[in-house]
Structure 1
Amino acid sequence: MSWAILTRFVRSMAHSSGAKKHIQIDVSSDTVCPWCFVGKKNLDKAIDQTKDKFDFEVRWHPFFLNPSAPKEGVKKSDFYKQKFGAAQYERIISRMTEVYRGLGLEYDTSGLTGNTFDSHRLITYAARQGYDKQNALVGELFFNYFCEGKYIGDRQVLLEAARKVGIEGAADLLDDPSKGAEEVNEELEKYSSHISGVPHFVINGKHELSGGQPPEVFVRAFQAAAN
């Protein structure tokens, strides 16, 4: 390769790398929100489709669909039948089963639901060890809850998810109910106090999206934010 061609190649590579724009995505969600998992899966697809154009940083923030949910947990089916009524419950389950199958997932309605504060303490804590690890933890907890019937209020479930994605110090955090609580409340106030539903996405601090949007909607938002 001649020096002139090599120089042009290096300049071209430098220009290409310089053209990559930073996209920060702040997501408010709850770990028992089925559409939040749908939103995450579609966001992941959009990121994968555009990773050659953008550098991404995804940050997760707490939201509580049911702040007074019991810590010990109750059967999902009992809770949602009581909340929505039996007929509406069946329609919701049918719809979510269909949506999840479209994502290659099996929607599991077994197990318990309940208070999500500990899961948010762990997610908020995980950010200190890197947003990639935090993002992986969120995905693992969603999968545990929605596809494996695991209760994410359970200490062992949380510890196993943390171990799987390489988060250190999770046991010390979870053993002390006060650890990380202030940080969760601060995040809640800063990112989620002005919204009424989740998932809620803020891209580069200005472009907002709500709900389990399809990948192409995220891609358009990335492009708008980059411009």
Structure 2
Amino acid sequence: MTQRQESAGTGRACVLVIDDDATLRRALGINLRARGYEMLDAADGTTALAVAARRPPDVVILDLGLPDLDGVEVIHGLRGWCHAPIVVLSAREDQAQKVAALDAGADDYVTKPFGMDELLARIRVALRRPAVPADESAPVVTTPDFTVDLAARRVTTAGGEEVRLTPTEWALLEVLVRHPGRHVPSRMLLQEVWGPAYGTETNYLRVYVAQLRRKLEPDPARPRYLITDPGMGYHFAPADPR
């Protein structure tokens, strides 16, 4: 399967749309179902969290301006247990709001008004990324502080505890780990992780590399493994330089 289609044995990817605009939910429902998706919807954050708990979605479309909870709170609520990609859909154009949503664990951000074809393309990208089949021959990369199992798509600490990563965090780490010691340009990272339409959104990289450092580096302020190449990109340093 090329998309995440495990849910409830339906054979169709499940999209959860969280938006208080009933007209928008209906329009998305028509378009999603016409393309073979299953759709669930909720008009507020509390309902959305309950719906997602009953029927784990394969991708979430989330408006930040909900009547009960802030959308960032909903992201935090989902990210406690749900690894489905989250595409934020919002009229908020403030850069700080976008960064806050991405920092909370969102995977993509679409500003209203939007084109339906663009949103559907973002959904396809979001669904494709977690569904990449594990490469059974992929190596296990071990550092003094954590281990990355590329086949199992799993990261563990030196003590054996699993490190929870969002789909986007994993995708970014995977690209870097598969090129140990080699400079990976920002444009390549953006296109590999977010899709071919991306190439200049370096703020996305700053947010997600910072999140990975907080989860993996002994001292995130002085990274040993996830290294910035100023003005160019990043590289993974597998050896501890101490």
Under TM normalisation by the shorter chain, which class is it? under 0.3
TM-score of the pair, normalised by structure 1: 0.26
Rg comparison, structure with higher value: 1
Report the structure, 1 or 2, having the larger strand content.
2
